[in-house]
A and B are shown apart, each in its own frame.
Chain A
């Protein structure tokens, strides 16, 4: 057992005590499942923060001395950090720390973004906050400008950073290709502000990830502590998150819309052409929670009491069906051929579109299976959080 896992287990044990008696009587208990979920959330944000800190280091090196190699390294760090973050999106949609009234989600991962709100675009050389020298580039100012005057006026988070690293994508085969000279004084207007913007917006993302991690650190009086005492209500939230990501967000917002419009504007990570990985990681995040398992950034595996076992104890058939469907979604997502903005284009028989549709169909079915699974453990009010008490 690795040290980190050991610590996790020993910290989690006292919190599980309440759940154990029932767990002994009828297999895994609600408390144990909720506690394992909390451990997954914590590990997921911890990994994402580690990835974001590497991104921040790469960005710092790049802006100190802009070069193609430095830009490539920052892009690579962004992609690596997104692998972890994508999986954490299974922890959204129930008004938890990520998206309650104070939640930073809109500041971290809002999309689609009108890139002209941040920096120049083709035909509009002076567009964006970068080129508006009246605007002060600080964390609080950028946070204030985010989503101001429209949900697409996004100037912070993963996709703002993505745009600053890749630029607009005009290539059929590849991603955007912003020249590193954009960050070199004398080569592109406002290079100084672009460097500052990239640094500040990355720091803001790191801050927000730290905040989230704090809410899920074990052994503190924080959200996790309340969550772990939440019994069935916490379980309900867990399933609401999985169902909402499956149907409304991943199948709906992130794929059905793009299939309908066949428009690159409607893909999640449109500058980097990383959308196919976003989809896989979202699907995987759902499977992680279902199986009570998470393969960490360092390759180690966190494994514990799972929703699947809990459901299986009440209705083995529903549990089995849900497991199969969730696995099918992950497999279907992996089979989407990048780049996504090409996969969505074409007629009815286009293989790319069919594969995207297959993933959608599987996710839609899995959201229904999750409802059945919730019903099996006595949960019916599934839309979002229960009425405030």
Chain B
């Protein structure tokens, strides 16, 4: 077959995929093509420890240079001010990790802490009832918007996180029992006295990063269409978009990132994490997150020269670009019979309604922070980027912009099968409570209760096939 014919066929397939988008919502048939290359032309053929760390396959030479520079600022530790280093000064005063890679190890996913250890890739957001000036959660008055369990010398850490677990037993229709584990969170050794009595805490796991630039380039209209079509279908599944404050564009925008779609852009997410997780100020977030009652935090030395932010705009841009161009890996075993079987079950069980398989990407919100290589790609992330009521089992009880205390964003499924390669674990859901795909599925409730009931009825072979399919993505 001539290359041009192949290309024509592929674009026909892409068009078909688009046209059948609505059909997936009916959720009865697998799509005409299941993407072997989830990132389109950005896709890399990768597995093993470095599988999440490759630049988009279609990235240009100069962009690759920018990628590696961004990578170095992503994974290298920031240090306490004052220090001899020019480039990476200003960690803290409060922080959780010393580098982005501290939580997103190998550009991958964090995990809950081992017993007796403090969390690193898992943070706890804090708020009290009410809204802030932008309509987002209202910070806990002493500890702020998130809990920081580490601090520089001379500053008190905010305290320690305590995680207890409760067993949640259940049984498949075929009689096979299972036991889920539900984590319960509390705090101790609080550095600045008790929290407000009505404090709400929400655990959030650091997700893997390949493909985030492509998610950012999904046309907003497609996400809104997901919501419209789900509403029109008249079933319990009714996803809604989040609308959130975006600091880079200084406006309210559709939320895409974070477990509650509480962030609109990678730039906001990245600058927010620099400040919240590492204590690194930027032009987007120029003020250290010390509350009025944290005097040692307020008095601690700052990095940055002459009042400048601790990370400059150019460097921050490199780190955003780096993440935006991390490439999804090609699927493994896409044609294996069990995987094909699992794919059919995935659609028949209604999973694809929320985990929408495919999109064609449009423009990135800020071309200076992304690559033209991301545009016009047929991608397979398996998400609708909408919020869904997932039932009481998963609820954190903490609203976040439009998201209620029971709603979570449908997370993309790509890359899940490579987590054991890269991070040596497969902890899933917003706080990593699920040990693998099947447990994650069993935690589904609320709008997804119907899909869960379908899965409970599957026999062992079919359950394994379903898991195999998800792990092939």
Q: Which residues of A contact B (CB under 8 A)?
A: 93-95, 99-101, 103, 105-106, 112, 114, 122, 147, 149-153, 247-248, 252-253, 256-257, 260-261, 263, 265-266, 364, 381-389
Contacts and interface: CB of A to CB of B under 8 A. Distances in A.
B50 A364 contact: no
Contacts of B265: none
B120 interface: yes
A316 B85 CA distance: 50
15 contacts: A94-B48, A95-B47, A99-B49, A101-B48, A112-B76, A149-B102, A150-B98, A248-B54, A256-B68, A265-B87, A381-B45, A381-B330, A383-B44, A384-B54, A388-B333
Given A152-B75, A248-B68, A383-B54, A263 B98 contact: no
A147 B97 CA distance: 13
Contact of B49 (A100, A256, A260): A100
Query: What 3 A-B pairs have minimum CB-CB distances, sorted nearest first?
Result: A95-B48, A252-B68, A383-B44
Contact of A253 (B71, B79, B120): B71
Interface residues of B, number: 44
Contacts of B61: 364
Nearest to B74: A151
A257 B88 CA distance: 13
B46 A385 contact: yes
Given A106-B49, A263-B85, A257 B68 contact: yes
Given A151-B101, A263-B87, A382 B45 contact: yes
Contacts of A265: 76, 85, 87-88
Interface string B78-114: 0100001111100000000111011001100000000
Contacts of B88: 265
Contacts of A103: 48-49
A114 B77 contact: yes
Interface string B213-250: 00000000000000000000000000000000000000
A383 B57 contact: yes
Contact of A261 (B71, B84, B87): B87
B75 A99 contact: no
Contacts of A101: 48-49, 420-421, 424
Contacts of B420: 101
A388 B68 contact: no
Contacts of B72: 253, 257, 260-261, 266
A150 B102 contact: yes
B332 interface: yes
B352 interface: no
A385 B421 CA distance: 12
Contacts of B68: 248, 252-253, 256-257
Interface residues of B: mostly helix, strand, loop or mixed? Answer: loop
Contacts of B71: 253, 257
A261 B47 CA distance: 30
A100 B46 CA distance: 11
Interface residues of A: mostly helix, strand, loop or mixed? Answer: loop
Given A252-B67, A265-B87, 14 more contacts: A101-B420, A103-B48, A149-B97, A150-B102, A151-B99, A248-B68, A252-B64, A252-B68, A266-B76, A364-B61, A382-B45, A383-B330, A384-B47, A387-B332
B50 A256 contact: no
A147 B98 CA distance: 12
Contacts of A387: 45, 47, 330-334
A385 B47 CA distance: 6
Contact of B65 (A94, A147, A151, A256): A256
B47 A263 contact: no
B69 interface: yes
Nearest to A261: B87
Nearest to B422: A101
Contact of A383 (B45, B64, B79, B334): B45
A94 B79 CA distance: 33
B90 to A, nearest CB: 15
B269 to A, nearest CB: 19
Interface in B149-179: none
Contacts of A150: 77, 97-99, 101-102
B326 interface: no
A250 to B, nearest CB: 11
